Amino acid sequence: MADTHDNQVRDKQVRDRQGLDKAAPATSSHRQARAAGGAPLLDVRDLTMQFGGLKAVDGVTLQVHPGEVVSVIGPNGAGKTTVFNCISGFYQPTGGEVYFQNRAMHRLPGYRIAQAGMVRTFQNVRLFKEMTVIENLLVAQHMHAERNLLKGLFKTPGYRRSEKALMQHAGDWLERVGLLEFANREAGNLAYGQQRRLEIARCMVARPRLLMLDEPAAGLNPNETRDLDDLIVSLTRDEGISVLLIEHDMSLVMGISDHIYVVNQGQPLADGSPEDIRRNDAVIKAYLGEE
Amino acid sequence: MPKLAKQTLKKAGTSPAETIPPQPSYRRPWWSALAAAVLTLVLGGSVLGVQLESTGITTTVRLMGMDTWGWLLAAALAVFLHQLVRPQIEEWRARTRKPSRFSVPDVMSGQKRQLWIMLAIGALLIFPFLSNRSAVDLATLTLIYIMLGLGLNVVVGLAGLLDLGYVGFYAVGAYTYALLNSYLGFSFWEALPIAGLMTALFGYLLGFPVLRLRGDYLAIVTLGFGEIIRILLNNWTELTGGPNGIARIPKPTLFNLEFSRRADEGNIAFHEFFGIDYDPALKVIYLYLLALILVLITLFVIYRLLRMPIGRAWEALREDDIACRSLGMNPTGIKLSAFTIGASFAGFAGAFFAARQGFISPESFTFIESAIILAIVVLGGMGSQLGVILAAIAMTLLPELAREFNEYRMLLFGLMMVLMMVWRPQGLVPLKRPQMELDRG
């Protein structure tokens, strides 16, 4: 079991080295998938979230297909993060439905949604700051760990194998995001950009189908943003996961998204490919104001 | 632009001594010192300087003698002078502070560490045979507190759930054995696992509704739980004997061999079986060894738990429960497991306590016990096992060594806490992160 996994990872590394990393995003094929009406991975219908008299999210509908990078953009306070919180179960939406792999998610608590395969990051980094980098990645694999207390107490062979596989997996991801040398450093002592990368690695070791990133480029310098760009592209390409992204950095969004949803004041404003959005009058108006 | 560069250069060139931020200066050191001295006099005077005497039905306040008040005045003067020069002292301390002082050497790794542990266990095994009876008795008490400290450390230090009613679980364990024995005739060894399970059940039942709360609210509810248990035991006279407690709880046996002068019916006394003279010290030594074994098992189990997924999850939950949820961990379940496991150790300790004392009453399970156990965890350095052991030893030995200050025990206790918080807020032996080997080919 552990061996096959190792091989997969090694293959991936070989492919990385063979210069596959600059392949253009396969936008056209995704567009076809969307048009052909393949089953979406995530299907959000008419999502509504009301806080007292305030409708923070009103009728947002969005879909993420397998292998896609989908972005949600909008001016500050448009309700993007609220949409995220509703989808990931941190808020109970007051209306609408969320289906993930055809399973209803909108009544489940957050941890069940994560177990189903939707893992998210937060706007402000939420690492376990006093734990070491490697421990952060081990904790993140909790749902894949051998959690039987007796097996752990007596260190049965099965338990040892499981722990070893977790370590291996964590090490692979550390290598991938370039943090291997900091493995035993406390996570809170890393530089900000490294913390951001570690947070994404921590999500990835949880083996999600859909990665939800809430402003991953916030506070990064242009170089780090470019690295992040490469990382996200490689995640969808090599790991076959989908990414749902909230971001303010327009160059990042336009560069990597297959599909963009624009939200303004809680309501859906437009959606389409990056080119469509760039040319959309309503979007320009919302961002720049009326002339 | 050149101007700016010059400024930065200049800034970078200044010596570190010049860049030390100014110490908070007290604008009126005289006034704050005077206020502290008066406060000392008022507090000290009300505690030590007067005595309440009841003559008949009236209570009169009698002033203590001149010498007591002389000491109080001297103390007030000392506080006054200290407050006056405190800014200077703090500045001096900040200047002379070394980056690290006492710390446990962490070079001990692998075999060397194992060797030390073996030596320590060996010494602890030999100790009762070389020592006198009262010392062994005290060591047994210390071991009980170590066990309680280790158990509470799981809940407070690792999972970060402030539990002020831990003594409630201790009581449940003790009464489980006492009641099972007096009503159903269970022996210590039969009752021990049941006591552990029973307390785990209580921990689960309490934890289930309560663990949605956090921080202060959780502390208040657990405090209430501890009191409820004690008051219940006090008032349910038909079952528990109320304030009279339960007496004649038998001591543990060794494979049905008893350590009393005359064995109960059906049992054989240890000294008769081996044909040696009756020695009451043997009983004390046996209890000590038993406690030692229980502590070693506790240590081992918690050591393993910490390195298992569940232990990592406890610590992660203490740091950020929202991040935990986003990674698919069920916070309630994880908290509940910490609460339940921590409680079960109190149950084992309680059953042993009942067996050692031979008599228990609700008076043994007051809030002050919870406070002492919590103090052990905090003093030791939250989360660290070695720290808890050292702190438990300090907390049980110091009051014994300072017997003549018995009246002022709580004062000393408070003083110790204050000094610890000033000098070593992270505890005696702060928790060190385990360093892991990553073998990369």
Q: What is the mean pLDDT of chain A?
A: 84
DSSP 3-state assignment of B360?
Answer: strand
C-alpha B104/C-alpha B313 separation (Å) is 26
Q: Quick one: A64 and A137 in the same domain?
A: no
* A104 close to A97: Cβ distance less than 8 angstroms: yes
Confidence of residue B340 (pLDDT cuts 50, 70, 90): very high
Selecting from B304, B331, B436 the residue whose C-beta is nearest the C-beta of A184 gives: B436
Q: Quick one: A54 and A108 in the same domain?
A: yes
* B319 close to A128: Cβ distance less than 8 angstroms: yes
C-alpha B413/C-alpha B406 separation (Å) is 11
Region B309-326: mean pLDDT is 91
Query: Does A34 map to a domain?
Result: yes
Query: Does A210 map to a domain?
Result: no
| Contact state of A142 with B304 under an 8 Å Cβ cutoff | no
Query: Does A45 map to a domain?
Result: yes
CA-wise closest residue to B349 among B180, B53, B151: B151
C-alpha B416/C-alpha B399 separation (Å) is 12
pLDDT tens column, B87-96: 888 788 777 7
Indicate the range of B49-58, B215-224, B303-312, B321-330 predicted with least confidence.
B49-58
Structure tokens at A176: 């991938």
| Contact state of B309 with A138 under an 8 Å Cβ cutoff | yes
- Measured distance between the N- and C-terminal CA atoms of chain B, rounded to whole angstroms: 51
Region A80-86: mean pLDDT is 91
Q: Quick one: A87 and A148 in the same domain?
A: no
Look up the CATH number of the domain holding residue A33.
Answer: 3.40.50.300
**Which residue's entry shows tokens 């949600």?**
A72
Largest separation between any pair of C-alpha atoms in chain B: 99
Confidence of residue A28 (pLDDT cuts 50, 70, 90): very low
- Own/partner pairs, B103-112, CB within 8 angstroms, 24+ separation: B103/B429, B104/B386, B104/B429, B106/B432
Q: Between these two residues, A25 and B377, which has the higher pLDDT value?
A: B377
Q: Looking at chain B, which residue has its C-alpha nearest residue A206?
A: B327
| Contact state of B308 with A114 under an 8 Å Cβ cutoff | no
Q: Looking at chain A, which residue has its C-alpha nearest residue B308?
A: A152
Question: In sequence order, what E strands does B240-363 have?
Answer: 257-258, 268-269
C-alpha A168/C-alpha A138 separation (Å) is 10
Strand B268-269, strand B257-258: pairing: parallel
| Contact state of A90 with B325 under an 8 Å Cβ cutoff | yes
| Contact state of B327 with A119 under an 8 Å Cβ cutoff | yes
Q: What is the mean pLDDT of chain B?
A: 82
Residue B269 is classified by DSSP as: E
Is the per-residue pLDDT at B110 higher than 70?
no
DSSP 3-state assignment of B62?
Answer: strand
Q: Between these two residues, B1 and B334, which has the higher pLDDT value?
A: B334
Confidence of residue A202 (pLDDT cuts 50, 70, 90): very high
Q: How far is B381 from chain A (nearest CA, A)?
A: 15
Q: Quick one: A131 and A163 in the same domain?
A: yes
pLDDT of residue B265: 64
Confidence of residue A261 (pLDDT cuts 50, 70, 90): very high
Is the per-residue pLDDT at B27 higher than 90?
no
Q: Quick one: A253 and A289 in the same domain?
A: yes
Query: Does A282 map to a domain?
Result: yes
Confidence of residue A291 (pLDDT cuts 50, 70, 90): low
| Contact state of B328 with A114 under an 8 Å Cβ cutoff | yes
DSSP 3-state assignment of B329?
Answer: coil
DSSP 3-state assignment of B59?
Answer: strand
Query: Does A196 map to a domain?
Result: no
| Contact state of A132 with B322 under an 8 Å Cβ cutoff | no
CB pairs below 8 Å between A and B: how many? 117
Region B126-152: mean pLDDT is 90
Q: Looking at chain A, which residue has its C-alpha nearest residue B328?
A: A111
Query: Does A71 map to a domain?
Result: yes
Selecting from A130, A135, A155 the residue whose C-beta is nearest the C-beta of B312 gives: A135
* B354 close to B360: Cβ distance less than 8 angstroms: yes
pLDDT of residue B118: 87
* B417 close to B290: Cβ distance less than 8 angstroms: no
Region B277-293: mean pLDDT is 85
Region B34-42: mean pLDDT is 88
Is the per-residue pLDDT at A221 higher than 80?
yes
Region for B18 from its dihedrals, namely left if φ exceeds 0, alpha if ψ lies in -120 to 50, beta otherwise: alpha
Confidence of residue B244 (pLDDT cuts 50, 70, 90): confident
pLDDT of residue B264: 67
pLDDT of residue A32: 52
| Contact state of A167 with B436 under an 8 Å Cβ cutoff | yes
| Contact state of B313 with A119 under an 8 Å Cβ cutoff | no
Chain A residue numbers with beta carbons less than 8 Å from the beta carbon of B312 are 131, 135, 138-139, 142
Q: How far is A87 from chain B (nearest CA, A)?
A: 12
pLDDT of residue B201: 94
Q: How far is B307 from chain A (nearest CA, A)?
A: 9
pLDDT of residue B242: 83
Selecting from A128, A149, A152 the residue whose C-beta is nearest the C-beta of B323 gives: A128
Q: How far is B314 from chain A (nearest CA, A)?
A: 10
Question: How many angstroms from the chain centroid is the CA of residue B63?
Answer: 37
Last residue of a domain, one of A188, A204, A235: A188
- Rg of the Cα atoms in chain B: 27
Strand partners, B108: none
| Contact state of B438 with A206 under an 8 Å Cβ cutoff | no
Is the per-residue pLDDT at B172 higher than 90?
yes
Model confidence, pTM: 0.79
Region B295-312: mean pLDDT is 91
Chain A residue numbers with beta carbons less than 8 Å from the beta carbon of B320 are 126-128
Q: How far is A142 from chain B (nearest CA, A)?
A: 6
Estimate the crossing angle of helix B385-401 against helix B409-423, to 10 degrees. 140
- The ipTM assigned to this model is 0.82
C-alpha B322/C-alpha A91 separation (Å) is 12
Chain A residue numbers with beta carbons less than 8 Å from the beta carbon of B328 are 111-112, 114-115, 119, 142-143, 206
| Contact state of A90 with B308 under an 8 Å Cβ cutoff | no
Q: Which amino acid is it at B295? A: V
pLDDT of residue A21: 40
Q: Between these two residues, B272 and B5, which has the higher pLDDT value?
A: B272
Q: Residue B219 belongs to what H/E stretch?
A: helix B216-235
Structure tokens at A214: 């809430």
Selecting from B310, B331, B438 the residue whose C-beta is nearest the C-beta of A147 gives: B310
Q: Which amino acid is it at B286? A: Y
Chain A residue numbers with beta carbons less than 8 Å from the beta carbon of B309 are 138, 142, 145-147, 152
pLDDT of residue A106: 86
Q: Between these two residues, A193 and A20, which has the higher pLDDT value?
A: A193
pLDDT tens column, A30-60: 555 565 567 889 999 999 999 988 888 999 9
Q: Between these two residues, A192 and B102, which has the higher pLDDT value?
A: A192
| Contact state of A111 with B331 under an 8 Å Cβ cutoff | yes
Q: How would DSSP label each residue in B117-160?
A: HHHHHHHHHHHHHHS-HHHHHHHHHHHHHHHHHHHHIIIIIIT-
| Contact state of B315 with A186 under an 8 Å Cβ cutoff | no
| Contact state of A110 with B326 under an 8 Å Cβ cutoff | yes
| Contact state of B322 with A90 under an 8 Å Cβ cutoff | yes
Q: Between these two residues, A16 and B214, which has the higher pLDDT value?
A: B214
DSSP 3-state assignment of B54?
Answer: strand
Q: In which domain, by residue range, is A283 found?
A: 27-115+244-291
Instruction: Write the CA distances from A170 to A176, B125, B193, integer angstroms.
Output: 10, 42, 38
Query: Does A266 map to a domain?
Result: yes
Query: Does A201 map to a domain?
Result: no
Q: Quick one: A142 and A281 in the same domain?
A: no
pLDDT of residue A22: 40
Chain A residue numbers with beta carbons less than 8 Å from the beta carbon of B315 are 128, 130-131, 135, 139
pLDDT of residue A99: 92
pLDDT tens column, A157-194: 888 998 899 999 999 999 988 898 888 889 999 999 89
For residue A61, count other CB atoms closer than 10 A to its CB: 14
| Contact state of B322 with A126 under an 8 Å Cβ cutoff | yes
Q: B213: burial class by Cβ within 10 Å (0-12, 13-18, 19+)?
A: middle
Q: Between these two residues, A7 and B96, which has the higher pLDDT value?
A: B96
Is the per-residue pLDDT at B158 higher than 70?
yes
CA-wise closest residue to B140 among B251, B288, B252, B280: B288
Q: How far is B193 from chain A (nearest CA, A)?
A: 16
Strand partners, A118: A210
pLDDT of residue A2: 45
Number of domain units in chain A: 2
What's chain A look like in SS3?
Answer: CHHHHHHHHHHHHHHHHCCHHHCCCCHHHHHHHHHHCCCCCEEEEEEEEEECCEEEEEEEEEEECCCCEEEEECCCCCCHHHHHHHHCCCCCCCEEEEEECCEECCCCCHHHHHHHCEEECCCCCCCCCCCEHHHHHHHHCHHHCCCCHHHHHCCCHHHHHHHHHHHHHHHHHHHHCCCHHHCCCEHHHCCHHHHHHHHHHHHHHCCCCEEEEECCCCCCCHHHHHHHHHHHHHHHHHHCCEEEEECCCHHHHHHHCCEEEEEECCEEEEEECHHHHHHCHHHHHHHHCCC
pLDDT tens column, B54-93: 777 787 777 777 788 888 888 889 988 888 888 888 788 7
Is the per-residue pLDDT at A27 higher than 50?
no
* A273 close to A65: Cβ distance less than 8 angstroms: no
